[in-house]
Every structure is written in C-alpha cells, then in structure tokens.
C-alpha cells in the first residue's frame, strides 16, 4: 500500500530572498526563540524550516516516516506580493525548482504549481507552462490579497483549470481583517484565522454555484476542511430558508461537501472520524503539513491506523492515486 502525502510544503532560497527584497507588507522578524518568521505587518505568517529548502532532507524524512510520494507546494504568502513582474518571477522560481525536484526524484516527488493570480493572463500562461513541465495540480491561497476566490477577475483562470480537470489545493493564509479581530496574539491567526479562511472560501464556492460552473475541479480543502464538516447542519438550514430568487446552487450544500476533497490534518482522531462520516472515506487524503513546526506526520499515521483497513488504505494512498492519476 503506497502512502501519498498531498499536503506538504517547500520554499527556495531565491524565493525567500525575493520576498525579503520585494515583499512590501511582508517582512522578516526574529522570534523570542531566535527563529526567523515571515510577518504580514504584525501578523505572523510562516516560520521557514530547514526542511523547506532541502529535498534530500525531505526524502530522508519520507523514508523514516514511510511516505512513498509527496505532492509538494509553496505555502503562504505564495506569490501574491510585489508587482506583476515580481509575482511572475517568484512563481517561476518556485515552480521550476519543484519541477527539477521531480526530475531528480521521479518516483517520490509530485508538485502543485503556484500562479500569479492577480494577473490572470500571466497566470494562465504559467499554468500552461508548468503543466507541460509536470505539475500535478494547482495550489491557491483561500484569499488572494483579500479577494475572494470567486471574484470574477479569476474566472478565466478557473475555466482553464477546470478544462484540465486539475486538483487544486486550497490553503489558508491570514484572513482579511485579522488585525481588527485581534488575531495577532498567541498565533490565533494560525489556529483560528486559517480555519476561518478556508471555511469562508469554500462556503462561498458552494453557495455561489461555483462547482456547477466548474464541474471538473478537484478542490482539496486543507486541514480537514477547516470547520466545514461541523457546519453542515447550518448550511442545510440556511439553504432551507433561502429566498428562492437568491439561490445560486443547483444541489444541496451537503452534496458539494461530498464533491470536494480533504486532508487528514485535524490533529484529532475524533475530528477525522467525524469528517469521514460527513463526506465519506473516498474524499479524504493523507496529509502532514511537513516541515512546518506544526506538522502532524505522526498524528496522521496514528489516526489513520485506527480506521478500518479499507478506509486506511484509501486515505493513505488509493484516493490520491485516483485524484492525481498516479500509477
């Protein structure tokens, strides 16, 4: 049984140097523990680790953990900073490095492309280029510099992704208004804000009829879907009382929740089991969030080991083989 990790991250040194030089509102600060951390203003975003830059170290981690294939991606702040040329340059730097890693480790590495979404035509060009270079899917943050993923300006990009039937990892970042909500303390932007960001992004997609318009999309909602599974009852009640003339989706909210995919990064067996009860085991895939400090490699293995043999095999490997066409 193969184990495929669909949620795991990589940076490149040049990408980080470009962020430092051209990141605008993004800056690097030293934490009390001595680590360097990327901030957006005063909001913590990500702590780069050695594993973010070293594919040899990644392969050693995979071997030790028992992971056969990692589908790597950039994480926040992705490439949504700088001007058009900087954003495109950051995307090329990250994507080309991942493509080279797949060439070096063809049996172990797959990757999500990052796109300069704020410049749709350039994003479509980068999508075409990177798919020809071996990208297995697309990684997008749950909001793009404060814009909803369903904003009409992104429609040409979504149409192209849908045409190709690609998996799309929707990954959170700090949501708009995080400063006003006082989430900069205690890493609440990570523990609460990130979950809100994913939940709001996917909820908009559901209620705006996004999946009816783009039926071939294979959306993967990060971190067990944020709080999506636990809102299923509210979604159904909201749909029940919705004004008919305002309704945009063709199916029930639960149907869409069972249409998309999720990872196992819940940090809790009960949460994972509940997710499976709502969406079905065929829509959950193994993820670790390595090499972040908060990665849950041990937890994802331990929690899936407590499921039925059939569910464990599907979630650890065969679901991802189907979604990513891995043979």
Kindly give the pairing relationship between strand 143-144 and strand 147-148: antiparallel
- Whole-number mean pLDDT of the chain? 94
The mean pLDDT value for 68-87 works out to 95
Query: In the predicted model, is pLDDT for residue 137 greater than 80?
Result: yes
The mean pLDDT value for 256-273 works out to 97
Which pLDDT score, from 0 to 100, does residue 259 have? 94
DSSP H or E segment with residue 19: helix 13-22
Residue with tokens 């869409």: 256
Q: CA–CA separation, 202 vs 83, rounded Å?
A: 27
The mean pLDDT value for 234-238 works out to 89
In this prediction, what percent of the chain has a pLDDT beyond 90?
Answer: 78
Residue 293, CB half-sphere, CA atoms under 13 Å: how many?
10
Higher-pLDDT residue of 132 and 44 is 132
Which pLDDT score, from 0 to 100, does residue 306 have? 98
- Within 8 A by CB and 6+ apart from 255, the residues are none
pLDDT-based confidence at residue 278 (cuts at 50, 70, 90) = very high
Q: How many domains does the chain have?
A: 1
pLDDT-based confidence at residue 4 (cuts at 50, 70, 90) = very high
DSSP 8-state class, residue 68: -
The mean pLDDT value for 147-161 works out to 97
Query: In the predicted model, is pLDDT for residue 327 greater than 90?
Result: no
The answer to whether the CB of 286 falls within 8 A of the CB of 313 is: no
Which pLDDT score, from 0 to 100, does residue 190 have? 77
Q: CA–CA separation, 29 vs 45, rounded Å?
A: 11
Q: For the chain, how many residues are written?
A: 327
- Per-residue tokens: 80: 């949504």
- Within 8 A by CB and 6+ apart from 290, the residues are 5, 8, 9, 51, 58, 61, 70, 297
Query: In the predicted model, is pLDDT for residue 161 greater than 90?
Result: yes
Which pLDDT score, from 0 to 100, does residue 37 have? 86
Q: CA–CA separation, 277 vs 293, rounded Å?
A: 29
* CATH code for the domain of 90: 3.20.20.140
Between 269-279 and 297-305, two packed helices, what is the crossing angle to 10 degrees?
A: 60
Between 120-132 and 155-164, two packed helices, what is the crossing angle to 10 degrees?
A: 20
The region of weakest confidence among 83-97, 182-196, 287-301, 304-318 is 182-196
Which pLDDT score, from 0 to 100, does residue 247 have? 80
- The four Cα atoms 252, 258, 263, 269 give a dihedral, to 10 degrees, of 90
Its domain, for residue 218, covers: 4-323
pLDDT-based confidence at residue 266 (cuts at 50, 70, 90) = very high
Residue with tokens 């913590």: 44
- How many CB atoms sit inside 10 A of residue 264's CB? 29
* pTM > 0.85: yes or no: yes
Between 84-104 and 120-132, two packed helices, what is the crossing angle to 10 degrees?
A: 10
The answer to whether the CB of 204 falls within 8 A of the CB of 149 is: yes
- Within 8 A by CB and 6+ apart from 117, the residues are 80, 123, 140, 144, 154, 157
pLDDT tens-digit series, residues 163-220: 999 999 999 998 887 777 877 777 777 788 889 999 999 999 999 999 999 999 999 9
Which pLDDT score, from 0 to 100, does residue 32 have? 83
∠ CA 313-314-318, nearest 5°, is 100
């Amino acid at each position: 049984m193969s184990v495929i990790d669909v949620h795991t991250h990589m940076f490149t040194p040049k990408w980080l140097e470009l962020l430092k030089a051209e990141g605008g509102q993004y800056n690097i600060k030293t934490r009390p523990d001595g680590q360097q951390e990327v901030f957006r203003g005063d909001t913590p975003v990500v702590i780069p680790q050695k594993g973010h830059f070293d594919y040899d170290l990644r392969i050693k981690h995979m071997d030790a953990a028992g992971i056969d294939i990692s589908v790597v991606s950039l994480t926040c702040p992705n490439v949504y900073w700088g001007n058009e040329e900087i954003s495109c340059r950051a995307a090329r730097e990250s994507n080309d490095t991942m493509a080279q890693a797949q060439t070096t480790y063809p049996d172990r590495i797959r990757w999500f492309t990052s796109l300069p979404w704020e410049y749709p035509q350039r994003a479509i060009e980068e999508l075409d280029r990177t798919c020809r270079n071996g990208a297995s899917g697309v990684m997008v943050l749950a909001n793009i510099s404060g814009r909803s993923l369903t904003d009409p300006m992104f429609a040409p990009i979504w149409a192209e992704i849908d045409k190709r039937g690609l998996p799309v990892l929707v990954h959170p970042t700090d949501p708009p208004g995080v400063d006003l909500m006082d989430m900069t303390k205690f890493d609440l932007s990570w523990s609460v804000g990130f979950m809100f960001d994913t939940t709001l992004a996917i909820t908009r997609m559901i209620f705006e009829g996004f999946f009816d318009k783009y039926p071939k999309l294979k959306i993967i909602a990060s971190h067990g879907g944020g709080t999506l599974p636990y809102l299923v009852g509210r979604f159904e009640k909201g749909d029940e009382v919705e004004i008919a003339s305002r309704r945009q989706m063709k199916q029930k909210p639960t149907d869409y929740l069972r249409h998309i995919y999720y990872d196992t990064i819940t940090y809790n067996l009960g949460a994972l089991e509940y997710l499976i009860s709502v969406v079905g085991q065929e829509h959950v895939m193994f993820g670790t969030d390595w090499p972040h400090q908060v990665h849950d490699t041990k937890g994802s293995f331990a929690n899936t080991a407590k499921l039925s043999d059939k569910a464990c095999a599907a979630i650890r490997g065969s679901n991802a083989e189907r979604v990513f066409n891995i043979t």
